Amino acid sequence: MTTPSQTVGPYLSIGLPWPDGVDAVPEGTPGAVWIRGRVLDGAGEPVPDALVETWQADANGRFDHPDDPRGAVAGFRAFGRCPTEPDGSYRIRTIVPGAVPGRDGREQAPHIDVSVFARGLLDRVVTRIYFPEHAEANAADEVLAAVPADRRATLIAVSAEDGYRFDVRLQGEGETVFFDV
Amino acid sequence: MGTPTKLHLPSYRRDPDGTHPPLDSPGYRSTALRHPKQRPVLLPQMLTEVTGPLLGPGRIGEHDNDLTRQHAGEPQGQRIIVHGRLLDGDGRPVRNSLVEIWQANAGGRYRHTGDRWPSPLDPNFDGVGRTLTDDEGRYEFTTIKPGAYPWKNHDNAWRPAHIHFSLFGTAFIQRLVTQMYFPDDPLFAQDPIFNSVPDEKARQRMISKFDLSRTVDHWALAFEFDIVLRGREASVFEDEEDE
Ligand SMILES: [Fe+3]
């Protein structure tokens, strides 16, 4: 009964971006970092008509949502959205989330869920950002473990001057791992 | 203390094959270099996926649900009311949830620098709206019926008239962007985006219904468009909570 997905088309940037969309956390938040990257197509060309959205836990691994009864720090949107520039770039201001409860009492390594929408994508693609400083937790993460070892690196952000880099390659050499949710 | 809170997570049903378009849809040429070639990895639904941003209050301005009143003058074209319900797959209303729309004007032109087709912009129409669903999951917009527009996908290609819709639901899993079409559009047959949805019944769910009961005499036509997001599995967890 679900309504089918359709592409955002080439003109998404009139409808979806918000002036403060890049702020998953407010400016001035202690520990705030920028996650910057580019969305690239199968020819390695930038995708200038995409939208990147992020969703994540707070620093304690909690969500401000009724299905997380532990609650989260208020005043933290935890959601970011950024349309890509002509060079395919996007940026999100956020904090590194805490570890999130997984299944069977295990913990998941800190991660951010990502949706990418674009002209030419008839449905969003979903991926996850993990962080390079959590090597041990990443090695024990159930979701990363399900990803072929030689492709895991596509899910791990790279340290950068003011935060991290995370590029999304939709197709081809170094194709980002996408998830079926 | 010390033992972690036991979380009872809902799980969301997967949609039957054919509900959504394959990312590789050769008829829509822009998919060629943009569809992933590797199979997606199955992601178990965990806390990050069953939660999601509950957006809305604070994001809506005064005329955001009336696209005909965002300028001093009235836009050109056929005034319409577009209304419906936002539901989950079990028919439950999705309440207080952000609905975002964007569309072309009556001549099929978007207020976007990349849209260069020679149909005039309308100084009184931006083509962008947002609203919140009410306690029954209802939303309503007043707008202008968008025109069809040409594109370069194939020879003499025209998009059927449509309004782009963006929905969040209550979980990351439910996020949906779709397009609402109008009944009996003669352009459906040649449109690879509409026809990218394999299942015929699923395609029909993207077509709004003409709604005589909601037309306003000497003012506006009306179309009804219900949107259904993924539903939850019948939950065994609710019983467990009574243990
Ligand atoms: Fe369009």
Residue pLDDT, tens place only, B203-243: 999 999 999 999 999 999 999 999 999 999 865 443 344 33
Q: Does the ipTM surpass 0.90? A: yes
Residue A38 near chain B (CB below 8 Å): no
Contact (Cβ atoms closer than 8 angstroms) between residue A159 and residue B21: no
CA dist A52 and A54 (Å) reads 7
What residue numbers bound the domain in which A152 lies? 12-169
Eight-class DSSP state of B4 = P
User: Is residue A106 in a domain?
Assistant: yes
- What number of residues does chain A have? 181
Q: Least CB-CB distance to B5: which of A70, A176, A179?
A: A70
User: Is residue A174 in a domain?
Assistant: no
Give B219→chain A minimum CA distance, Å.
26
Q: Which one, of B211, B225, B215, B140, lies nearest residue B180 by Cα? A: B225
User: Is residue A2 in a domain?
Assistant: no
Tell if the CB–CB gap between B49 and A181 is shorter than 8 Å. Answer: yes
Take residue A75 and report the two structure tokens written for it: 């005043």
CA dist B1 and B225 (Å) reads 49
Contact (Cβ atoms closer than 8 angstroms) between residue A5 and residue B198: no
User: Is residue A38 in a domain?
Assistant: yes
User: Is residue A20 in a domain?
Assistant: yes
Residue B169 near chain A (CB below 8 Å): no
- Contacting residues of A for B231, CB less than 8 Å apart: 1-2
Contact (Cβ atoms closer than 8 angstroms) between residue A82 and residue A13: no
Whole-Å CA distances, B124 to A17, B74, B120, B145:
21, 6, 12, 14
Q: What is the pLDDT of residue B238?
A: 39
Residue B118 near chain A (CB below 8 Å): no
Tell if the CB–CB gap between B43 and A181 is shorter than 8 Å. Answer: yes
> Per-residue pLDDT tens for B60-83?
988 999 999 999 999 999 999 999
Whole-Å CA distances, A108 to A50, A130, A155, B47:
28, 10, 14, 10
User: Is residue A178 in a domain?
Assistant: no
How many domains does chain A divide into?
1
Q: What is the pLDDT of residue B8?
A: 80
Take residue A86 and report the two structure tokens written for it: 């002509």
Give A100→chain B minimum CA distance, Å.
7
Q: Which position has the token pair 């609203």?
A: B131
Bin B156: left if φ > 0, else alpha if -120 < ψ < 50, else beta.
left
B156: number of Cβ within 10 Å = 6
Tell if the CB–CB gap between B52 and A56 is shorter than 8 Å. Answer: no
pTM: predicted TM-score of the whole model, two decimal places: 0.96
User: Is residue A176 in a domain?
Assistant: no
Take residue B223 and report the two structure tokens written for it: 């179309």
User: Is residue A175 in a domain?
Assistant: no
Identity of the amino acid at B239? D
From start to end of chain A, where are the E strands? 33-40, 50-56, 79-83, 89-94, 100-101, 107-108, 111-118, 125-130, 158-160, 163-165, 168-169, 179-180
> Per-residue pLDDT tens for B123-170?
999 999 999 999 999 999 999 999 999 999 999 999 999 999 999 999
A80: number of Cβ within 10 Å = 26
Tell if the CB–CB gap between B202 and A125 is shorter than 8 Å. Answer: no
Q: Which position has the token pair 């904090």?
A: A95
- The band of B59, judged by pLDDT with boundaries at 50, 70 and 90, is confident
Give A25→chain B minimum CA distance, Å.
13
pLDDT at B37 over 80: yes
> Per-residue pLDDT tens for A13-65?
999 999 999 999 999 999 999 999 999 999 999 999 999 999 999 999 999 99
B202's enclosing H/E stretch is: helix B200-204
- Count of CB pairs separated by less than 8 Å, A with B: 230
All domains in chain B, ordered by first residue: 55-228 (2.60.130.10)
- Choosing from B110, B130, B139, B232, the catalytic residue is B110
Q: Which one, of B177, B75, B79, B38, lies nearest residue A127 by Cα? A: B38
- Choosing from B109, B162, B203, B230, the catalytic residue is B162
Domain harbouring A41, CATH code: 2.60.130.10
A173: number of Cβ within 10 Å = 8
